[in-house]
Amino acid sequence: MSSRIGSICLQTLRSVGGIVLGYVTLVLASAFVQQTMFGGVSFQHSPISTLVLAGLLTPVAAVLAGLVTAIVAGRAPIWHMMPLCLAVCAETIFLYTTHKADGPLWFEGGAGLALVVGALVGAWTWKYFAIARSRVAVACGPLGAG
């Protein structure tokens, strides 16, 4: 019975750790793209080229966050993305309603949606490759056989 409890505790730690590390990855990677690469992105003050490049690269940060969450959590990667996606939605609403983001609703909502979709793509990508890897392992048999 204690090995079952140990595995439940381990999976719980992996689940919580995956969600937290995924969110931290999203925050740090997004900050790197928007602050370090472009010196801050503002709908009102940034040139169109900066908005376009940041709009393309910031979802890549979300894909990375989705991968981190899925790898650490180890199973059910899409379900583990739900808290992260809800946090992105809550943060987007908070930033818009408190006027900490200077873009119109369609811009800020689109940015939040791009992060959610990017994170889900990252988790789905890991799931796809994990399934493919397990099929190869089954097809090849145990190591050293043959």
Model pTM? 0.83
- Residues 131 and 137: their CA atoms lie apart, in Å, by 10
pLDDT along the chain (146 residues), means of 10: 82 92 96 94 94 95 96 89 94 95 94 96 90 67 54
- CA-based nearest residue to 14, from 75, 78, 84, 85: 75
Question: What is the pLDDT, as a whole number, of residue 143?
Answer: 56
Nearest one of 54, 56, 52 to 32, comparing CA atoms: 54
